[in-house]
Structure 1
Amino acid sequence: MLVNSATSFQKTIISPRRPRSLYFNDDTYVGFVPGGQIEVIAIDPERGGMFYIFNRLERGKTPRIRRSESCLTCHATAQMNGVPQLVVESVVPGITGGGEVAFRRDLSGHAVPLDDRFGGWLVTGAPQSLKHRGNILIEWTKGKAVERVIQPGELYNPARYPLPTSDILPHLLQEHQVGFINRAVAASYRTRVLLHENGGKAEPVTAELEKLARELVRYLLFADEVPLPKGGVAGSKEFKADFLAKRRIASNGHSLRDLDLETRLMRFRCSYMIESPAFAGLPGPLRRQVDRELALALAPDPVRKDYAYLPAEEKRMIREILENTLTFPLKVPTE
């Protein structure tokens, strides 16, 4: 993916004339700017985002990798309660890359309206029916800010990048992943604070742990996902092949990575991020509440109001996938 807003510590060299490219998997994010340094965010299951920087690789030389604390200026703000998180904001830039208009800074995840997303980003492969804030540059004309639509590659040389595209599908999946990681990390930090304040005992804070778990499970089960535009999205064949290569296939032949892309992201609305280190690293007392809430959410009967949007057959398929691929304890508590 390509971003042309100067929202990085390398902001002096990022602009619509030299965008930054981003690459990611479930727990690592890599940023590259031609002529600049390599930025890496690795998700620590307990501590959240860990930020690193190093010079470009040179043949025969070992790169000097260092932790970058300056990244926390934006990635661990007061609004984030100082918790290291990921930021996917919308910033519509001017020609120098500086933000002219910024919005949805503190929001992330699949519930963010599509027409508020991708400001400052370049987007390829999106259907015309998808209205968004990507591919827009602000120019000043006679003292007035005027939005100009730009095409990827119009202001820079695509050959300087490993890939010339900035496909819509990784944009959508990144938004979903970031939303989960931020919620999981924040809930983990909050859980550890609660346990510390209560001498390591979970019983006095059961109600708050249940609330944190419910919020996580609702997100995992795509409770507030905004629908895709009419006609859906196609997505890059190469990206889809890479994404699906990581499928954990259940005995029924399905996985949590199976894509829908017609009306929603995933065929089965339980996030594949449940397989990620961010989920595995949830503190024990919180994880037990999450397991309990998930079992209740996916139980065939009674149907819980919070999860009534999930048809019985879809819940059954999700249970089978979880039990086959993660040996998940989906036993409904009797108490």
Structure 2
Amino acid sequence: MKSLSVLFWLCLMPCWFNNFAVAQFQLDIEEAPFHYTETKAENRVTRLMERLESRELKLEYSPQQGYLQSLLKELDIPESSQTLVFSKTSMQVRYISRHNPRAIYFNDDTYVGWVNGSSLAEISTTDPKLGAAFYTVDMMPWRAKIQRADYDCLACHSTSMTQGVPGHTIRSVLTTFDGSIDSQKQSFITSDASPFSQRWGGWYVTGRHGDMKHMGNAYLKAGMLDTSANGNWTHVRDEFDTQNYLSPYSDIVALMVLEHQTQMHNEMTRADFVVRQMLHQQGSAPTDAEEWKVQLASVAKRVVDRMLFCDEAPLTSEVKGSVVFADHFTRRGPSDSSGRSLRDFDLQTRMFRYPLSYLIYSDAFDSLQDCLKQEVCRQLEAVLTGKNQSEEYAHLDATCRADIVQILRETKPDVIRAR
């Protein structure tokens, strides 16, 4: 059995490991307690596969997109979530170019990659035990064959780019005209914390963003990225034939959501894997309860800080994307009795009006190790009720904290205890 070992660093309190400020954990996802390839997947995609195998469901095929539209419908992924990437950063590099970009569609836990002209589609999804699970779809006209893909995907999706665990990432790269990456140039892993100027290299971007500059819609000319006319595009019809695509857009707001979501999922997976490893090494009863509490608090804090958008890059101009995507996204709810939702966009100075990640409603959050989830909730409550006034949470004023508390008490009551 091939073994995948991933090294990553977890900042810990100095008192633990003989006054070293950083402890090194080695995760081998093929060893206990993970056993990645041997673990049965249970997620949105496996449920679809079961329906197909039992003949309860038959996907509909079209000559233009294969099973794409039918797949999106059954996986509950809106077509309006389409984003387009023209950098050659997929297993299907031979098909991808500026004139034939790869389309990505997503909901809160599942991603579908489709390339015009290819008979192979790619799916990845979050899984309670695996972190991220990967699948290919062989789109033969007479049947859609979905099968799990591990090592072909993990070569890129279980690395430092994904925080060292099976996960997802959005890369911003510099490409030549045909989409090939210039490996000598700097690239970026993008999230909601990334400066706007470092986002979306190798991607198409449609929507309004005022004077803010980004790397999208552009490629290298004479060794320099040409950003002279790459901003505030309303569509991509002038760049390639969009007839076979489900939309002529690569929505800027969908891209911003995608960046937050991928890194938030990775953060939760990373924390869960670390705690599983700790429990496995120590047994169900930690030998030093105080040390365990401090270590657990450190792991949970990274999740809390990302959930609260602590390092979010401020917007200096209003962002306007597709009203269709925004509507589809916000309607997934839930909302409180005043109609407020963690999915409500701001897009004036920050992404969301109430900056607490909507992924708090996800299966990925609910499936965290119990001790980890309880510690995350304890820390969230301390911040949102004003007990914790640390500087990193200064972006949350008293009104904002109170609004989030009320939303949670009505829509996720297990997070904030009733008073």
Report if TM-score (shorter chain) is over 0.5: yes
Aligned twin of 2:332: 246
| Equivalent residue for 1:187, pick from 248, 261, 271 | 271
Structure 1 Cα separation of the partners of residues 133 and 367 of structure 2: 15
In the alignment of these two chains, the number of paired residues is 325
Q: How far 1:112 moved relative to its partner?
A: 1.1
SS at match of 1:99: coil
Structure 2 match to 1:174: 258
Structure 1 position 252, deviation (Å): 2.8
1:297 alignment counterpart: 383
Kindly indicate whether residue 92 of structure 2 is the aligned counterpart of residue 38 of structure 1: no
* Alignment partner, residue 77 of structure 2: none
Correspondence list, 1:103-252, <5 A: 103-105=186-188, 107-139=189-221, 144-148=222-226, 152-202=236-286, 203=289, 204-230=291-317, 232-252=318-338
1:136 counterpart letter in structure 2: A
Q: Which portions of structure 1, spanning 4 or more consecutive aligned residues, are displaced by more than 4 angstroms?
A: 78-82
Distance (Å, rounded) in 2 between the aligned partners of 1:148 and 1:108? 20
How far the C-alpha of 1:154 sits from its partner, in A, is: 3.6
CA distance in 2, matches of 1:57, 1:318: 48
Q: For residue 75 of structure 2, what is the aligned residue in structure 1?
A: none
Residues 328 and 97 of structure 1: CA distance in aligned 2, closer, same or farther (over 3 Å): same
Q: Relative contact order (alpha carbons < 8 A, sep ≥ 6): 1 or 2 greater?
A: 1
Closer, same or farther in 2 for the Cα pair 1:103/1:85, shift >3 Å?
A: farther
Q: Please give the secondary structure, in 2, of the residue aligned with 1:175.
A: helix
Query: Could you tell me which amino acid in structure 1 is paired with residue 225 of structure 2?
Result: E
Going from structure 1 to structure 2, the CA distance change for 1:113 and 1:207 (only over 3 Å counts) comes to same
Aligned to 1:56: 139
Q: Which amino acid aligns with 2:171?
A: E
Deviations 1:148-182, CA, capped at 9 Å, x for gaps? 45673344211121111011110111111112011
Residue 65 of structure 1 is matched in structure 2 by: 146
92-101 or 2-11: bigger deviation: 92-101
Could you tell me how far 1:109 is from its partner in structure 2? 2.2
Quickly say closer, same or farther: Cα 1:24–1:79, change in 2 above 3 A. closer
Give the whole-Å Cα distance in 2 for the aligned partners of 1:235 and 1:81.
29
Give the superposition deviation at 1:128: 3.7
Assess if the C-alpha contact under 8 Å between 1:136 and 1:148 holds in 2: yes
Aligned-partner Cα distance in 2 for 1:315–1:79: 32
Distance 1:279 1:322 in 2: 14
Q: Is the 8 A contact 1:138 1:145 kept in 2?
A: yes
> Scaled by the length of structure 2, what TM-score is found?
0.73
Percent of pairs with identical residues? 35
SS of residue in 1 equivalent to 2:134: strand
Letter in 2 for 1:67: R
After TM superposition, give the deviation of residue 84 of structure 1 in Å. Answer: 0.6
Match of 1:29 in 2: 111
Q: 1:320 to 1:91 in 2, by over 3 A?
A: same
Say whether the 8 Å CA contact 1:110–1:225 is kept in structure 2: yes
Q: TM-score, normalised by structure 1?
A: 0.91
C-alpha RMSD of the superposition: 2.1
Cα deviations by residue, 1:3-40 (Å, 9 ceiling, x for unpaired): 00010000111111210011111000011101111111
Q: Name structure 1 gaps, 5 residues minimum.
A: none
Q: Indicate conservation of the 8 Å contact 1:126/1:167, yes or no.
A: no
- CA contact under 8 A between 2:354 and 2:400: conserved in structure 1? yes
Distance 1:34 1:85 in 2: 25
